[in-house]
Structure 1
Amino acid sequence: MTKLISWNIDSINAALTSTSARALLSQEVLKKLGTYNADIIAIQETKLPAEGPSAKHLELLKNYFPGYKVEWLSSVPPAKKGYAGTMILYKEGIKAERSVPKLGAPDTMDDEGRLLTLEFDNFYFVNVYTPNSGDGLKRLADRQKWDALYADYLASLDSKKAVIACGDFNVAHKEIDLANPASNHFSAGFTDEEREDFTKLLEKGFTDSFRHIHGDVKSVYSWWGQRIKTSKINNSGWRIDYFLVSDRIKDKIQKSEMIDSGPRQDHTPILLEIDL
């Protein structure tokens, strides 16, 4: 059984080195993830500098996840500093080949450290932090171009071997994927355009592993906004984090679920267990 975890950490430096109340909650989540003994752990929104994790960061990560190799990708000029970024930890002893695809995406999206791929013996593992359409949907048109290019990229990998793609996709696909669909119809992450793009991605040969296992279950989310203090208590959330798999391996999925992150708001980690 292959066990995989994905989590948008919202600043790995804060999670590892800060002593704020929020950081302490993040550290509890990291401790919990360490108990899963996952084969691969994907992290999004690392917010690290262009040169990546420091020696201190790597040492602290090793305390939580001993025996893992670390691959990372940071935002680099001309993109904003300390922005976006992705990371993959995988167990030592597993052979993997890293690639950093350039999609030809608009603006600085290709320079924001959003897409990191590892090729293993029998599948590709793709970690993505999809661009947010932003306040006032100012980045929606660019986001749509990203979505189309990303879908084509996954399809190109899928033509060679099976794909497992995970991360923060910044879209709630259907009305059951968020608590308040009616009032969010024109919000970033729930526009018709973003939802249709996600449908088009799945139509290229991919399965939403959570829905494959759980069907149309409601009120299960992966993100609760930090600005509203009661969002998690009231379960006023969104499901925007996914494990997608090539259709041809969907019947090998054993488990796809959220990992409880306790009182910490923002993203919760997600888990995939698949018999490869």
Structure 2
Amino acid sequence: MKFVSWNVNGLRACVKKGFLDFFQQVDADVFCLQETKLQKGQISLELPGYEQYWNDAERKGYSGTAIFTKHSPLSVTYGIGDHFPENEGRVITLEFETYYVVTMYTPNAKRDLSRLPYRLQWEKAAREYLTLLATQKPVVFCGDLNVAHQPIDVRNDRANVGNSGFTDEERAEFGKLLEAGFVDTFRHFYPDDEDAFTWWSYMANVRARNIGWRIDYFLISRALMPYLVDASIHSSVLGSDHCPIELCLDLQPNESSRPF
């Protein structure tokens, strides 16, 4: 099974910059999007062989997520539970026979950190949601989580301490998710890679010089570790200020014989 996640920072714009070429080339079983920035009817994608699931924000041109899948899910849910309602289209969950797939676009704390309190409330609710799912079956969790967990995940870490996406509070919340039983798949394979980033500012030459942040992730429940094949970053793929990331697992979506 091949999973791909990409913050496209506006799907309509990304389509004009080669999105469909990459989509067809990578041939993922499940392709997750964040920051689609559109509402129903604003785009029509012909994706033969894929079912499409969308969660649009009420606010036009803002946030939004989508999942395109070759395999029919048992169920589809939106958001992170009735106890934490939100209207920004940030989460989609697909349930398969032996695991869940969750895509998430985590709220940004904003440059002035004015949204940090809401962000921390979100983190708690999201962790409770994910850990509850994981009590039922393992979880494949991906998306733009808007945090660089460790100094290695930011090119200029010392200069960015305390900035949005690299505050002590946000990094600690990510750590709590790992403590709750999730594994950062890329760091599992590449614990010392100092040049692995998924987001770059649009400032001149920043991406060419690889001055970036790693804020897009595939996390999995520890129960899925025996089936983990690879995790990679498609840093050469353009079309957004983020690049796609990929996860490969040796399992099938509706294979009921798995021991977990």
Q: TM-score, normalised by structure 2?
A: 0.91
Q: State how 1:59-70 maps to structure 2 within 5 Å.
A: 61-62=45-46, 65-70=47-52
- Contact map agreement 1:44 1:167 (CA 8 A) in 2: yes
Report the residue type matching 1:163 in the other structure: V
Q: Aligned pair in 2 of structure 1 residues 53, 163: CA closer, same or farther (>3 Å)?
A: farther
Identity of aligned residues (%): 39
Q: How many residues align?
A: 250
Structure 1, unmatched stretches of 5+, are 17-22
SS in 1 for 2:209: coil
Report the residue type matching 2:79 in the other structure: P
d(CA) in 1 for partners of 2:7 and 2:41? Answer: 16
Q: How far did 1:231 drift?
A: 0.9
Deviations 1:122-148 (A, max 9, x none): 110001000000020010011011001
Q: Aligned pair in 2 of structure 1 residues 265, 75: CA closer, same or farther (>3 Å)?
A: closer
Q: CA RMSD in A?
A: 1.5
SS in 1 for 2:98: coil
- Contact map agreement 2:79 2:90 (CA 8 A) in 1: no
1:245 aligns to what?
A: 220
Q: How far did 1:259 drift?
A: 1.4
- Contact map agreement 1:118 1:125 (CA 8 A) in 2: yes
Q: How far did 1:214 drift?
A: 1.4
- Contact map agreement 1:225 1:265 (CA 8 A) in 2: no
d(CA) in 2 for partners of 1:101 and 1:267? Answer: 23
SS in 2 for 1:173: coil
Report the residue type matching 1:175 in the other structure: P
- Contact map agreement 1:261 1:269 (CA 8 A) in 2: no
1:41 aligns to what?
A: 31
Q: TM-score, normalised by structure 1?
A: 0.86
- Contact map agreement 2:8 2:240 (CA 8 A) in 1: no
Q: State how 1:1-276 maps to structure 2 within 5 Å.
A: 2-16=1-15, 23-24=16-17, 27=18, 29-49=19-39, 52-54=40-42, 57-58=43-44, 61-62=45-46, 65-76=47-58, 80-91=59-70, 93-103=71-81, 104-105=83-84, 110-226=86-202, 228-262=203-237, 264=239, 266-276=241-251
Structure 2, unmatched stretches of 5+, are 252-260
Q: How far did 1:121 drift?
A: 1.0
Greater helix fraction, Structure 1 or Structure 2: 1
SS in 2 for 1:14: helix
The answer to which structure, 1 or 2, has the higher relative contact order (CA under 8 A, 6+ apart) is 2
Report the residue type matching 1:67 in the other structure: G
